[in-house]
């Protein structure tokens, strides 16, 4: 599975994977008020579908200082660049997959493409699919993502 990257996913990882005092790149030089308001927007929208979360973050960014707006625009451009690179890498990986991994990848991408699901709901569905896979297929997908080999 090489699920599509999303703004929400990257922002959530940027905030929560590293700790409560770590922020995404566009907030590295922002004041405490901007950081707190960003976290509030994420928390208020975390159970909403991805397009709604992205719209809320875009709206938040539009109300910030010029420096934050510029940094946010740069961040979004970086995400777009990574999405293009990921799409090419994903296509190359799928071409080498076994039939079982190709089917699993299609199932995982179908979940990823469901715009009406929250990030949490998508993660749950993806985890459910991964947990039900034949161990060899699961390992093939994990290896393609650069995960640990078992």
Estimate the crossing angle of helix 50-62 against helix 66-96, to 10 degrees.
150
* 8 A C-beta contact, residue 111 and residue 125: yes
Long-range pairs, 134-137, Cβ under 8 A, ≥24: 134/100, 136/100, 137/98, 137/100, 137/101, 137/104
For the segment 56-111, what is each residue's pLDDT rounded down to a tens digit?
A: 999 999 999 999 999 999 998 988 888 888 888 888 889 999 999 999 999 998 99
For the segment 9-55, what is each residue's pLDDT rounded down to a tens digit?
A: 555 555 544 455 678 889 989 999 999 999 999 889 888 888 898 89
**What is the rounded distance in angstroms from the CA atom of residue 51 to the CA atom of residue 18?**
24
Query: Residue 1: its pLDDT value, please?
Result: 41
Q: What is the 3-state secondary structure (H, E, C) of 73-99?
A: HHHHHHHHHHHHHHHHHHHHHHHHCCH
The residue with tokens 């109300």 is: 63
Query: Residue 118: its pLDDT value, please?
Result: 85
Question: Both tokens of residue 89?
Answer: 């890498």
* 8 A C-beta contact, residue 57 and residue 26: no
Residues in contact with 57: Cβ distance below 8 Å, sequence separation at least 6, in sequence order: 7, 8, 11, 38, 41, 42, 45
């Amino acid at each position: 599975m090489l699920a599509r990257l999303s703004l929400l996913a990257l922002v959530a990882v940027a905030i929560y994977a590293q700790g409560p005092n770590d922020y995404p790149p566009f907030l590295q030089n922002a004041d405490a008020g901007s950081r707190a308001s960003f976290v509030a927007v994420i928390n208020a929208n975390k159970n909403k579908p991805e397009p709604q979360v992205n719209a809320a973050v875009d709206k938040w960014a539009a109300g910030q200082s010029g420096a934050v707006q510029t940094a946010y625009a740069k961040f979004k451009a970086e995400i777009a660049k990574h999405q293009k690179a990921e799409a090419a890498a994903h296509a190359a990986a799928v071409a080498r997959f076994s039939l079982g991994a190709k089917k699993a990848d299609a199932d995982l991408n179908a979940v990823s493409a469901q715009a009406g699901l929250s990030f949490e709901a998508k993660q749950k569905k993806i985890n459910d699919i991964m947990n039900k896979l034949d161990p060899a297929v699961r390992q093939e997908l994990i290896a393609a993502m650069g995960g640990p080999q078992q």
